[in-house]
Amino acid sequence: MMSSFATQSYVANGDGHQVLEWLGGTSMQVLLDSAHSQGALTVVRTALNEGDAAPVHVHSREDEVFLVLAGGALVWSGDDRYEVGPGGIAFLPRDVPHTYRIIEDGTDMLTICTPGGMDGFFRSAGHDVSTPKPEGWAITAATLGAAAAAHGQQILGPPKGLDD
């Protein structure tokens, strides 16, 4: 019987991670992608500021975890809203609409997705900062929607506001 667990180790130091420009000009590091985990998981680390937010969306393939290392976020899962501070964690199961809004400058958040594959979405919509930025490049609703559709996600609406 074949094991569904990764069978090869992967180690990378801090300067070895791909960095993507992400929503609102934030910086996202791809710490572990699906290729290096044999499809088991994706881990990214994002530096965020107050007001940064993701559109309401749903994944059909991955469960997602947000681990707030510093700062704070509002997280919606289905109809439920939570405030998550330093050391807090939110588990967002696949097929449940969710989003977040950052409520503090300097928020540092790990996103862990299982199984792997979400890195494809991040790379499709984001810009690898090690390469020249194409003129006029931006993450638009159209590019985000196309990247989401190509990677088993659906954008359901705009980000939620503080009063939602």
5 within a domain of the structure (yes/no) = no
Tens digit of pLDDT for each residue in 126-140?
999 999 999 999 999
- Full-prediction pTM beyond 0.75? yes
Tens digit of pLDDT for each residue in 29-71?
999 999 999 999 999 999 999 999 999 999 999 999 999 999 9
74 within a domain of the structure (yes/no) = yes
CA–CA separation, 73 vs 66, rounded Å?
A: 10
Domain range for 117: 17-131+153-157
78 within a domain of the structure (yes/no) = yes
Q: What is the CATH number of the domain that holds 105?
A: 2.60.120.10
Q: What is the 3-state secondary structure (H, E, C) of 78-111?
A: CCEEEEECCCCEEEECCCCCEEEEECCCCEEEEE
